[in-house]
Structure 1
């Protein structure tokens, strides 16, 4: 809501930042003025925008270079003001550059507001504008806006363009609406590889790994498009979730054929390491890691987590000490998991204190770090210390954390903390009948038979039922004469 005295009192101050604003302000210039305001380019009266050095030779190229190299939100505000002052927003290219820069600096709301003002300013979005707006929508989880952008794409004739179509598929899939995503994919007979990749990746991220494998099989059977590194990285993640080593080996072989240079890129290599580790073949994951000519933080994180998960904690910690890149918060989760699996309490607590005290560059404590430490302490019988860690969490503990603490109480016969963990877990998952079973076992271990009977009576009277289990049968997918098993 714009205050009544906005144009009379605020505009004169804003002329320090935007000396090119016309006077008097008319209805045509109020729209761009609101754009400046809504796009966060106006913070205070000081004329910081005029402090940027300017190149008179080619203003458009100068602005494009500044936007491409910008890495600071406050500097972006100055560049935005400079672009407006030079009247460079007559072409969609400069709108796109601004939106892309806001999105790159984790400001999706500003990017989307800029897209709205692009419409209001009379500039027609091109085939690059809509994908940026779509990415801003699903980055900020504004899925209802994504559906509105679908109608914009249809009106502008951009719904079948590769970038727009893949963006729309991603928006629908992120919202859990796979039916319209699949329909959008099916309705375009001339779909490009980007659309295939978007749907395969969406299925994989949603845990619908068999659907992702089947879609990949359809891509191979078509024969018109060849999978790229992005396709293979997504399908490797799907295979890792299924844990099928036979399929994993075939995916690895096909990845080698996919690479144009004969060498796998870092992203695909990381996916293959993670795939082999999840399939239980840490030896193949280590071979893959050792053969990589270049590694990034994700490479180290994948191998450390894989080794830790399968009980090779000492090897995982040895690799962490050899790590030649700065770890991120996921790496530190992997390190704490390794300490938990290896019983290395002192080293694990030392790393945890470093994280909490901010001594690990760029890493802030997250619920995952607290959960790993609570699990580590609980496994070794330090249940009271584990409960203290959970109480210290700046956030409400998740069901996973309370479940780990409850399991530790069952193992080590801790009644009081077990009662509290069970109560918290039932608040989060009232349908989970397993909580009653574990609590009953805790009481039985302590010889509290009246409490055992009470819990069993509560379980009978509750609406919870046994969570059904399921198994995944092998499904043979024939693809190019090769049997792909999923």
Structure 2
């Protein structure tokens, strides 16, 4: 056209700019930008919006902002383009600021602008502003726009309001995979694993093709449930799909099997992956950490370095955790110092891991000194690790100090009050226990009930201490009685110090016999054939008494019993626990 000496007009340039954007050709696009000025179209809003779109497509947000700020007359497209640019490129605060400016100038947003700004508030997890936008969506008559419903569903799900998200989801007729992903991911990330998997199965039954996000969220949900049969089904699904070589999905599978108690299955998947990146290596190391397999984690770290893969912060977190759960104090300390060799700045979780490493081994003074010399202000995870160590070693004075720090940081966290109460109780300081209970009551806090879940035929059954609600309750307690008799014949003496209440000896022994994991074990024994591994998940940390009892039970019933408590996995077999009685 130029060679033919035909001058372009305002209708020519938008198409050329679109072509430049499609090719990501920033150099030629700038030449076209200059031509627009040369031909006197710098005030044409339509053309300027084309330039905005071009620079945004090429991820040149700064150039786009200069053009945007220089526009004397901005229409809704101009505002929408700029809001979308920031929302899509990880700058939600800037996107929300531009939206507020737009509203102040009484420019009515279209549904595209609303989608972008809802995404921004979703990324910031600002539920209040998100609700205001939901109201605006209804006022402007866009409540049935599919993209807006998807964005709102994602907003509510990400902010933990899964009921509101599900209401929007159920009211949307079109089965868009992004909408399903928003809901499945929302359920999985907010502790509603069962609902996430149910939705995943429903999606498949409706012949809606899942993508990598769907599968990853479903694997996450399966990991939360800890159901090994479910995990195997998920793996089979992945292996028969187009995601069998997807690195993100394979990493999620490793994490899933580790959290379902099967490190062997996790390692099989790890070994199958030929081109391992740092995320794959770190996932396997984190798995070893969760199971307290410190030596294996360190060995894998050496393999990783020989492979030529540079570790990241997650790698070191997994290593420190593995060392902490295995009593490898010197090795864990060296690994922590090794972080600086790779230029990796420790985060709060790394510092908390070191405090746990030292405190768990009984080096409370060293742990306290470490906290005081940290280059950053200690957070809740750090003081929480110190408080746990004080509970383990019955250190009242330091425990009180750590608890006071935690009460100031997070005054409504029930766990901190319970830990302090347990420290007092283990030292028979019943006045201290009473003081903590009064403090909890004044803040309206109630202690979480302990419960244990056992996997039977791919389903979870939950039990609480002394639970008699199950249809097979009589059989369960008959088996419990038998277990107690067998334990006594083996010379087992209940550790009444595990009962952290002011009760007499007989009451304590009766309470300990009915702990939820013991009830779950009894149910597992009457519900499965000989030799079947029992897999139990407990929401609290395993007590000393039940740990001792479970070791003996695993021997005289000749079963492997895998217990996942609030901190880690315990594999009981032949009277021995994988933790080596160090947890």
TM-score, normalization by structure 2? 0.61
One of 67, 74, 80 as aligned partner of 2:56: 67
Residues 105, 345 of structure 1: alpha-carbon distance in 2 compared, 3 angstrom cutoff: farther
- Larger radius of gyration between Structure 1 and Structure 2: 2
Aligned residue number for residue 65 of structure 2 = 80
One of 326, 329, 333 as aligned partner of 2:313: 329
Residues 129, 294 of structure 1: alpha-carbon distance in 2 compared, 3 angstrom cutoff: farther
Aligned residue number for residue 118 of structure 2 = 134
1:301-333 Cα offsets, whole Å, 9 max, x none, are 221111111122233233334154544433332
One of 435, 440, 445 as aligned partner of 2:420: 435
Q: Mapping of 1:299-318 within 5 angstroms?
A: 299-318=280-299
1:111 matches 2:95: yes
Q: Mapping of 1:22-421 within 5 angstroms?
A: 54-55=31-32, 56=34, 64=53, 66-70=55-59, 76-82=61-67, 85=70, 92=77, 98-103=82-87, 105-117=89-101, 128-155=112-139, 158-221=142-205, 223-259=206-242, 263-321=244-302, 322=304, 324-353=308-337, 355=339, 360-361=342-343, 363-393=344-374, 394-398=376-380, 400-421=381-402
SS at match of 1:258: coil
Question: Whole-Å Cα distance in 2 between the matches of residues 162 and 395 of structure 1?
Answer: 45
Shift of 1:465: 5.5
Question: Whole-Å Cα distance in 1 between the matches of residues 435 and 244 of structure 2?
Answer: 60
Aligned residue number for residue 23 of structure 2 = none
Residues 416, 469 of structure 1: alpha-carbon distance in 2 compared, 3 angstrom cutoff: closer
Contact 1:426 1:435 in 2 (8 A): no
SS at match of 1:311: coil
Question: Whole-Å Cα distance in 2 between the matches of residues 351 and 104 of structure 1?
Answer: 38
Question: Whole-Å Cα distance in 1 between the matches of residues 82 and 287 of structure 2?
Answer: 40
Bigger shift: 340-349 or 161-170?
340-349
Residues 461, 123 of structure 1: alpha-carbon distance in 2 compared, 3 angstrom cutoff: closer
Contact 2:424 2:433 in 1 (8 A): no
- Note the residue ranges of structure 1 that are not aligned, 5 or more in a row: 1-51, 445-451, 479-485
Residues 145, 78 of structure 1: alpha-carbon distance in 2 compared, 3 angstrom cutoff: same
Aligned residue number for residue 552 of structure 2 = none
Question: Whole-Å Cα distance in 1 between the matches of residues 278 and 58 of structure 2?
Answer: 23
Question: Whole-Å Cα distance in 2 between the matches of residues 180 and 384 of structure 1?
Answer: 49
Q: Cα RMSD between the aligned structures?
A: 3.5
- Note the residue ranges of structure 2 that are not aligned, 5 or more in a row: 1-28, 37-46, 460-536, 538-583
Shift of 1:148: 2.4
Residues 440, 402 of structure 1: alpha-carbon distance in 2 compared, 3 angstrom cutoff: farther
Question: Whole-Å Cα distance in 2 between the matches of residues 229 and 475 of structure 1?
Answer: 30
SS at match of 2:285: helix
1:31-51 Cα offsets, whole Å, 9 max, x none, are xxxxxxxxxxxxxxxxxxxxx
1:183-232 Cα offsets, whole Å, 9 max, x none, are 111112224221111011111111111221222233234x2413222111
Contact 1:301 1:331 in 2 (8 A): yes
Question: Whole-Å Cα distance in 2 between the matches of residues 128 and 320 of structure 1?
Answer: 47
Contact 1:138 1:146 in 2 (8 A): yes
SS at match of 1:264: coil
1:455 matches 2:432: yes
Residues 312, 132 of structure 1: alpha-carbon distance in 2 compared, 3 angstrom cutoff: same
Question: Whole-Å Cα distance in 2 between the matches of residues 188 and 375 of structure 1?
Answer: 48
Question: Whole-Å Cα distance in 2 between the matches of residues 225 and 330 of structure 1?
Answer: 34
Shift of 1:370: 1.1
How many residues are aligned here?
408
Question: Whole-Å Cα distance in 2 between the matches of residues 391 and 375 of structure 1?
Answer: 15
Contact 2:355 2:367 in 1 (8 A): yes
TM-score, normalization by structure 1? 0.72
1:123-164 Cα offsets, whole Å, 9 max, x none, are 775654333211211222322221222234345554444432
Contact 2:244 2:250 in 1 (8 A): no
Aligned residue number for residue 523 of structure 2 = none
Shift of 1:68: 3.9
Residues 415, 229 of structure 1: alpha-carbon distance in 2 compared, 3 angstrom cutoff: same
Aligned residue number for residue 18 of structure 1 = none
